[in-house]
Amino acid sequence: MNHDRSHALFNRAKALIPGGVNSPVRAFKSVGGEPFFVQRADGAYLYDVDGNRYIDYVGSWGPMITGHNHPKVREAVERAIRDGLSYGAPCAAEVTMAETITRLVPSCEMVRMVNSGTEATLSAIRLARGATGRQRIVKFEGCYHGHGDSFLVKAGSGMLTLGVPTSPGVPAGLSELTATLSYNDFEGATQLFEDIGGEVAAVIIEPVVGNANCLPPREGYLQHLRDLCTRHGALLIFDEVMTGFRVALGGAQALYGVVPDLSTFGKIIGGGMPVGAYGGRRDLMEQIAPAGPIYQAGTLSGNPVAMAAGLAMLDLVSEPGFHDRLSATTVALCEGFVAAAREAGVALTTNAVGAMFGLFFTDSKVDTYAQAVACDTAAFNRFFHAMLERGVYLAPSAFEAGFVSSAHDDAIVDATLAAAREAFAVVVA
Ligand code: PLP
C-alpha cells in the first residue's frame, strides 16, 4: 500500500498540531507507524488520501453504528442546515431529542444535552457532588471517562483511596478525591465502601469497559455496585458514552437490568456530530441551572444540526431487530477470528457484547483490567499492521474495543476473516 500523501500530511500536521493529531490515540503511538489521513467514508469503508480502502472497525470511535455517511442521517443534516447552523435559543429538535432519550432509557427522567462525552461526565460528577454535598468519586482501572481532571487519576501506591494524577496539570488536591477500584472485583468495592462509603458522592463506571479492550461485567457485579451506592447514599453513574444505544437499544442498563441514578451519553446520539448528554432521576436533574443552583451551560448545546443527525441515528437504531442483527454479526466475526487464530497456532480469545468486541492475545478468558494488560500486546501490534496492510482497520491500540456497524454485511465479515487468516500467519512468523 502506498501512503505517500498521508505521510506528507502527517509531516505538515506535526509541525502545527501537537503530535500531528487532534486526539492522541489517532497518532498510532501504541501500535507504531503513522496514521493514514481519511479522504472520505462510506458504509463499512474508509478511503484514505492515497486511494486505499479499509474495512473500518473503529466507526469514528463509536458513532457510526449504521455505517458511514448513512443517507438518512446525511439527508436529515442537509435539511437542518437550510434553516441555519446555530441559534443559541431553544428549538423543537431539542425537545424531540429529550423525549426520545427519556423514552429509550427510562432511568433518565430528564436529560441535558452537551457537546461531548467529556462534558457529559464532567457535568454528571459536578451534579453528583452538588446534590450529595460529598466530594469523593470512585472510578475503575481501565475505564475512560474523557479528559476531565477528576478522571485522569490512578490509584496511589500507599492508600488505595488517595488517587494520584496521571497527567501533569491535574491538581494533586483534586486527584486525591478520586478513588480507583479494580473492575469486576466485588470485595474491593465492598471494602472501599466500608472505609469511606459516607464520603462518596458517586461511583462512575463503564458498565461494559470499552477502553480496556472489551470487558463485560461479571454476573451480579453492576447490581453489587448499585446496592453499595444505595446503602451508603452515593450515586451510581453509568458512563454509557460507548455502550448507550449500542449493546442494546436501552444501553447496558437495559441489557443487565440495573438502574443507575445518572447516565452519560455521547457518540451515537450525535450521529457523527459533536454531541453528548447526561440524564437521570428528576430530583437530581432539577438541581441543574437554571432550574436549580448547580451550574452547567453550553453555547452550542442542543445545536439544531447535531440534534437532526442524532435523531435520525436514533430512529435507525430503534428499528426492530437492529441490535439482534448487529450482535449476530459480532459473534460471527469473533468466532471467525478465533478459528483463524487457532489454524495459525496463535493464542486468542474474544469478548463480544452487542456490537462491541475485543480481541485478546492470550489463551484464557479475560474480564479484568489486569488480565487485559497481561495479554501479548506485541502480537496485537503485529496483527494490527498486517490487517491494515490487507485493508482492515482495527482500533490502533490493544486496549480499545472494536465496533461493528449495520453496514458490515456477511461479505465484509468474510473479507475480514480472509485477511485475518493471512495476518495471524504474520503474527507467528
Ligand atoms: N466516556 C467513555 C466511555 C468514552 O469512551 C469516551 C471517549 O471515548 C468519553 C467518555 C469521552 O468522550 P469524548 O471523546 O466525546 O469527550
Do residues 150 and 249 both lie within one domain? yes
- Closest ligand 1 atom to Cα of 274: 15
- As given in the structure block, the three cell numbers for residue 398 are 490493544
**Residue 429: predicted pLDDT:** 84
Do residues 94 and 211 both lie within one domain? yes
Q: What is the CATH number of the domain that holds 361?
A: 3.90.1150.10
Do residues 253 and 120 both lie within one domain? yes
324 CA → ligand 1 middle, Å: 25
* Cα dist from 392 to 30, 212, 389, whole Å: 18, 21, 7
Q: Identify the CA nearest to 310 among candidates 254, 266, 364, 356.
A: 266
265 CA → ligand 1 middle, Å: 8
Please identify which residue in the block is written with the cell numbers 489463551.
363
Cα 203 to Cα 223: distance, rounded to the nearest angstrom: 13
- Does 123 sit in the ligand 1 pocket, CB within 6 Å? no
Q: Whose CA is nearest to atom 10 of ligand 1?
A: 145
97 CA → ligand 1 middle, Å: 20
Do residues 271 and 350 both lie within one domain? no
- Does 116 sit in the ligand 1 pocket, CB within 6 Å? yes
Do residues 61 and 75 both lie within one domain? no
Residue 26 DSSP code: G
Is the separation of the CB atoms in 244 and 310 below 8 Å? no
Q: How many CB atoms lie within 10 A of CB 339?
A: 14
**Residue 155: predicted pLDDT:** 82
Q: Identify the CA nearest to 405 among candidates 306, 319, 317.
A: 317
For the chain, 429 residues long, give each residue's pLDDT as a single digit of tens. 999 999 999 999 999 999 999 999 999 999 999 999 999 999 999 999 999 999 999 999 999 999 999 999 999 999 999 999 999 999 999 999 999 999 999 999 999 999 999 999 999 999 999 999 999 999 999 999 999 999 999 987 655 578 999 999 999 999 999 999 999 999 999 999 999 999 999 999 999 999 999 999 999 999 999 999 999 999 999 999 999 999 999 999 999 999 999 999 999 999 999 999 999 999 999 999 999 999 999 999 999 999 999 999 999 999 999 999 999 999 999 999 999 999 999 999 999 999 999 999 999 999 999 999 999 999 999 999 999 999 999 999 999 999 999 999 999 999 999 999 999 999 998
Q: Whose CA is nearest to atom 5 of ligand 1?
A: 242
- Does 294 sit in the ligand 1 pocket, CB within 6 Å? no
What is the chain's Cα-based Rg? Answer: 21
Rounding to the nearest 10 degrees, give the CA dihedral for residues 257, 259, 260, 264. Answer: 60
195 CA → ligand 1 middle, Å: 30
265, 295, 317: which is the final residue of a domain?
A: 317
Catalytic residues: 144, 239, 267
SS3 assignment for 88-100: CCCCHHHHHHHHH
Do residues 361 and 312 both lie within one domain? no
- Does 304 sit in the ligand 1 pocket, CB within 6 Å? no
Do residues 255 and 274 both lie within one domain? yes
**Residue 162: predicted pLDDT:** 83
277, 293, 317: which is the final residue of a domain?
A: 317
- Exposed e or buried b for every residue in 372-383, given b needs 16+ CB within 10 A? beebbbebbbbb
- Closest ligand 1 atom to Cα of 117: 12
Model confidence pTM above 0.90: yes
Q: Identify the CA nearest to 419 among candidates 352, 313, 341, 346.
A: 341
* Cα dist from 89 to 94, 285, 310, whole Å: 10, 20, 19
Parent domain of 55: 4-69+320-428
Residue 52 DSSP code: -
Do residues 269 and 346 both lie within one domain? no
Q: What is the CATH number of the domain that holds 230?
A: 3.40.640.10
Do residues 40 and 63 both lie within one domain? yes
- Does 137 sit in the ligand 1 pocket, CB within 6 Å? no
- Does 245 sit in the ligand 1 pocket, CB within 6 Å? no
Do residues 248 and 351 both lie within one domain? no
317, 334, 358: which is the final residue of a domain?
A: 317
Cα 141 to Cα 181: distance, rounded to the nearest angstrom: 6
- Closest ligand 1 atom to Cα of 119: 16
Do residues 269 and 400 both lie within one domain? no
ipTM: 0.99
- As given in the structure block, the three cell numbers for residue 417 are 476473516
Residue among 65, 145, 214, 238 to mutate when testing ligand 1 (max atoms within 8 A of CB): 145
Do residues 308 and 216 both lie within one domain? yes
Please identify which residue in the block is written with the cell numbers 496492510.
389
For the chain, what is the domain count? Answer: 2
Nearest 5°: the CA angle 152, 101, 229 is: 50
